[in-house]
Chain A
Amino acid sequence: MRILLVEDEKKVADIIVRGLKAERFAVDVANDGGGGWDLAAAYDYDLIILDVMLPGLGGGEILQRIRSKNQLVPILMLTARDAMADKVKMFEAGADDYLTKPFAFAELLLRVKALLRRGPVNRSSVLRVADLEIDRLSQNVKRAGKKIDLTSKEYALLEYLATNPGRVFSRTMIIEHVWDQSFQGLTNIVDVYVRHLREKVDDPFPVKLLRTVRGVGYSLNDGAQV
């Protein structure tokens, strides 16, 4: 998998490149808009990560140029602005996803993987993590064959974490997915729900599946990794 990163902040680019390489992606980096466009025009990438604010050619301009040439490549925008109008503009111009700075690398990785897997998404009706079974149709959750009763929010949270076992989900992502942006200010709501979920999913069992990654978020592990 080959990824193009267009980011003018060297240190930010450096972190992303190191992180993605550790995940066995091939990464090309351009530090300005012109260079980014040259690379995007010359090679076929599986994914392009594009900063909005770039010296020379802006991220928005590159986005339009790429889209006029290639409709299919997934594009993730990095932005320091989160005004609603900007987001709408980005999606209209053909961006597939966006991430607002400051972000956790774990979150970037998750979005990158989601975009790359976009074709064959895991749409199976039953998600399995270790001995946990989540039936997406009936919304039934079982662990070691025993049925667990969850509230709808608890279920939504668990299902979200189970879509990508082992991956860390930031509190921001969880809030946006399970609640909505209005709850952004109170991240402790995630902690409370995770605690309730733990009481039901983990406490009665010897192997703990829910893992807290301090300062980043939560993940659902298959037990073997820890």
Chain B
Amino acid sequence: MNFRSISFRLVVWYTSLLTGIFLLLGTLFYFGLQHFVRTDMEHGQFHRARQIADTLLAHLPITGESALAGEIKTLYGPEINNRVIRLCRADGTVIYLSGRPADGSFNPAEVPAFYPHPDVDSSRKFNLTGGKIMLVVLVNYQAPNGDRYTVESGALMDPVEAMLNHLFIQLALCLPLAVLIIAGGGWLLVRRALQPVEQITRAAEQITQLNTSERMPVAQTGDELEKLSLSLNRMIARLDDALRNSTRFVADASHELRTPLTILHGELEMLAEDPQLPEEKRDRIFSILEEVSGLGKIVEQLFALSRLDAGESQTEWQSLDLAELARTTADQISLLAEDKHIVITCDAPQPVLIEGDRARLKQVVVNLLDNAIKYTPDNGAVQLSVNALNGHAILEVSDNGIGIPREALPHVFERFFRVDQSRSSDSFSAGLGLSIVKSICTAHGAEVQVQSTLRQGSCFRVKFTLEKN
């Protein structure tokens, strides 16, 4: 997975944002509820205690303490409601204490007294044996006759706490689940939204100088991506135009040069035929003729290059054995090598089938071998090999010649490039041989690479796709 991809970052961002919001809301909700439930319970107890004080204690002198227990039981039923109610005099004597609650969850006698005795109404929490927590409120009451009483009302907090606990667990379980759903759903959504981007990327990758007339698919969605593909298409159109112009220029220029060159050549030939001409002048004319021939060659190569650039039709394509082609070519060119006492070894034992234009591919081998021979000193060695490797046909031409300086390596396939003007004594090799190799390889969808160490040699490697059977 690409951690820098937009889809990944988007999902991470909004998942963490939503997780944060959920956490905040959950916390607020939980603690808000906790606070509400607890204060509500406390208010209920206070309310009850005051009622008892205001109604029962106020009538105590009339009804008497003995009737108190019955009245509280009838009116408030603390045992049934699992509450505790205790009435005391100011000196601490208990005048009423409710009985054991119906569920037997606590013993009212164990509920401790407030100590020190508060002067104002207050509430406290006590830990009972068994770890239970009880909330007890205390209300002071002064009867009209001056007697002071305290009313205590309490209940276990367990049901409330249990409810809160339950809620907490539910929240803690739901949150990760929600995050998972959000992340997964978000991933799918983002992927879907970015699908056209992937398509645009793939289509853009397909566009090379050979198919600039092709355009990218435009989804009529009216969104930003449609705009993007439209502008990319307009950019390709502009590039297409520029490329066409430059290709057409080279084609036109080399074409226009042909007629004047023919005239030059013809006139010079005629001049040289003149028997009256002194030998020295004839020699000069022949020297010019050589240059004109060389010019003609450059024009021809440029024209060939412009045709390759324009994506020459593939009508000449056929299935051919690259190994056999390499062997034949090496054999045909061997005399050039022998002339410099260079040994050409050809290692192409197995048939390697590819598809292509035989004449053009032969030119690749010829140009690479010629180049190797040219830049290898006398008594050197040139190796040619053809192998099939992982679905590719690999053609390699290596030599132990003068090599190419590191800084020149990226330029060797450029037109008219020469590592060193003084390197070549052959004035008609204009530095187009390797560009022709590159153009032919590109037209065949092949990749050509060069490695070289100065004074140790160079290696040119062409990678073709094997013919599919």
Chain A residues within 8 Å of B, Cβ to Cβ: 9, 11-12, 15-16, 18-19, 22, 80-85, 100-106, 151, 153, 171, 179-189, 192-193, 195-196, 213-216
Contact = CB atoms under 8 A, between A and B. Distances in A.
Range of interface residues on B (Cβ < 8 Å): 35 or more
B336 A185 contact: no
B363 A182 contact: yes
A85 B313 contact: yes
Contact of B299 (A102, A151, A179): A102
Contacts of A18: 270
Contacts of A188: 336, 426
Contact of A186 (B261, B339, B360, B370): B370
B289 interface: yes
B335 A215 contact: no
A11 B267 CA distance: 9
B465 interface: no
Nearest to B369: A186
30 contacts: A12-B266, A15-B263, A15-B266, A15-B270, A18-B270, A80-B255, A80-B259, A82-B300, A83-B312, A85-B313, A85-B315, A102-B261, A104-B293, A105-B266, A151-B335, A153-B332, A179-B332, A181-B359, A182-B363, A183-B366, A185-B366, A185-B429, A189-B335, A193-B335, A195-B339, A214-B286, A214-B287, A215-B287, A215-B288, A215-B292
B311 interface: no
Interface of B: 255, 257-259, 261-270, 273, 286-293, 296-297, 299-301, 303, 307, 312-313, 315-316, 329, 332-333, 335-336, 339, 359-360, 362-363, 365-367, 370, 426, 428-429, 432-433, 436
B262 A182 contact: no
A19 B263 contact: no
A90 to B, nearest CB: 15
Contacts of A216: 269, 289, 293
Given A19-B270, A102-B258, A185-B433, A215 B263 contact: no
B456 to A, nearest CB: 25
Given A19-B270, A102-B299, A188-B426, A180 B263 contact: no
A3 B293 CA distance: 27
Contact of A105 (B261, B269, B303, B363): B269
B359 A187 contact: no
B270 A215 contact: no
A110 to B, nearest CB: 13
Contacts of A180: 359, 362
A102 B333 contact: no
Contacts of B367: 185-186
B241 to A, nearest CB: 23
Contacts of B289: 214-216
Contacts of B267: 11, 15
Contacts of B268: 215
Nearest to B371: A186
Contact of A84 (B263, B296, B316, B428): B316
A162 to B, nearest CB: 20
A181 B265 CA distance: 22
B259 A12 contact: yes
Contacts of A186: 336, 366-367, 370
Interface centre among A102, A151, A179, A189 (most CB of B within 10 A): A102
B436 A185 contact: yes
B194 to A, nearest CB: 45
Given A153-B332, A182-B359, A214-B286, 4 more contacts: A83-B307, A182-B362, A214-B289, A214-B290
B466 to A, nearest CB: 22
Contacts of A182: 329, 359-360, 362-363, 365-366
A196 B263 contact: no
A187 B297 contact: yes
Contact of B270 (A85, A105, A192, A195): A105
Interface centre among A85, A100, A182 (most CB of B within 10 A): A182
A101 to B, nearest CB: 4
A103 B262 contact: yes
B427 to A, nearest CB: 11
Contacts of A183: 332-333, 366
B258 A80 contact: yes
B307 to A, nearest CB: 6
Contacts of B293: 104, 171, 215-216
B371 to A, nearest CB: 10
A85 B357 CA distance: 13
Nearest to B289: A215
A122 B31 CA distance: 115
Contacts of B299: 102
B259 A192 contact: no
Nearest to A179: B332
